[in-house]
Amino acid sequence: MLTLLKLLKDGRFHSGQALGAALGVSRSAVWKQLQHLESDLNLSIHKVRGRGYQLAAPLELLEQDQLDTSPWPVSIHHSLDSTNAEALRAIDRGVTAPFVITAERQTAGRGRRGRKWVSPFAENIYYSLVLRMDGGMRQLEGLSLVVGLAVLSALKNVGISGAGLKWPNDVLVGNKKIAGILLELVGDPADVCHVVLGIGINVNMRVASEVDQAWTSVYLESGSAINRNLLVSKLNDSLLVYLRRHAAEGFSAIQAEWEKNHLWQGREVSLIAGVHQVDGTVVGIDQQGALRMSVNGEEKVFSGGELSLRLRHDS
């Protein structure tokens, strides 16, 4: 089925006879594979008598040879439940970190707080970088915010100049989400552990009715499709720079840059933790990456994986 997809990815018409010859199968077998492509990957295929078969839009697949310059080994998967889940399984199998897991689609993509991450085939970036951490908690301080800066840098490098950060793990354009980050930890954070840096970027997605929040994509912001291999390479480069800086200097050296790019700096917000809500104004972040808020004239600090930040009164 993947071979057939590669034949069709140019978006041109291909006759059933030519496809069958290329695959070494009958035209009826080609038809069955086309049905699987439509049902399994939710791809739209035009069928025109006398002309053959054509994808509704050309596809650009992730290509191993275009990612071989990565600073870490990269594996590309046709379909996964999620790249983070596969990364955790690889850790269990004893795969040596660092390494990167990518996928053309996810069937059970996850965001923070258990939210679904919509993952259509060959449209976006679904990416997990696994790192081994030796030396305790200092290397984990503000790590998700550092990753956010790296994602932001990669997006700006491909022309998304209006992107900015939202504490703790989102990249936005205006009030619309273009990328998200999910970190997962395995092992003893006080000694030796592995951390999975899960990153989802909306790249060429144009329609996604099942997304339950305001969103955008590189395509919608720029008006044209972008080569996802290029963006993965930019992401690798940005991550390498920021992770090295974080390891050498700590999060405090990056704190001011993060605050400069925080879209909600000085805004009135509500911080949600379960059924509890705290209203205040964003002051900034501290040297560990925790959120600083002014609450009834008093500065308070908040951190934790289950916190959600929302704007108040359209501030």
Contacts of 271 (CB under 8 A, 6+ apart): 277, 278, 279, 280, 291, 293, 302, 307, 308, 309, 310
What is the Cα–Cα distance from 82 to 10, expressed in whole angstroms? 27
253: Cα separation from own chain's centroid:
25
Check 166, 177, 228, 234 and give the catalytic one.
Answer: 177
User: What secondary structure, in 3-state letters, does 254-315 show?
Assistant: CHHHHHHCECCCCCEEEEEECCEEEEEEEEEECCCCCEEEEECCEEEEECCCCEEEEECCCC
Identity of the amino acid at 135: G
Q: HSE of 1 in the Cβ direction (CA atoms, 13 Å)? A: 13
Q: Is 84 annotated as a binding residue?
A: yes
Q: Is 102 annotated as a binding residue?
A: no
Q: Is 138 annotated as a binding residue?
A: no
Q: Is 17 annotated as a binding residue?
A: no
Q: Is 106 annotated as a binding residue?
A: yes
Q: Is 110 annotated as a binding residue?
A: yes
Between 27-41 and 16-23, two packed helices, what is the crossing angle to 10 degrees?
90
- Say if CB 219 and CB 205 are below 8 A apart: yes
310 is catalytic: yes
What is the Cα–Cα distance from 286 to 7, expressed in whole angstroms? 52
What is the Cα–Cα distance from 1 to 190, expressed in whole angstroms? 46
Check 112, 166, 228, 234 and give the catalytic one.
Answer: 112
For β-strands 74-77 and 99-103, DSSP reports them as: parallel
What is the Cα–Cα distance from 197 to 81, expressed in whole angstroms? 16
9, two tokens: 């990815």
177 is catalytic: yes
Q: Is 82 annotated as a binding residue?
A: yes
Check 32, 244, 310, 312 and give the catalytic one.
Answer: 310
Q: State whether residue 243 is helix, strand or coil.
A: helix
112 is catalytic: yes
Q: Is 255 annotated as a binding residue?
A: no
Q: What residues are annotated to the active site? A: 112, 177, 310
Residue ranges for the binding site?
Answer: 82-84, 106, 110-112, 177
Residue ranges for the binding site for biotin?
Answer: 82-84, 106, 110-112, 177
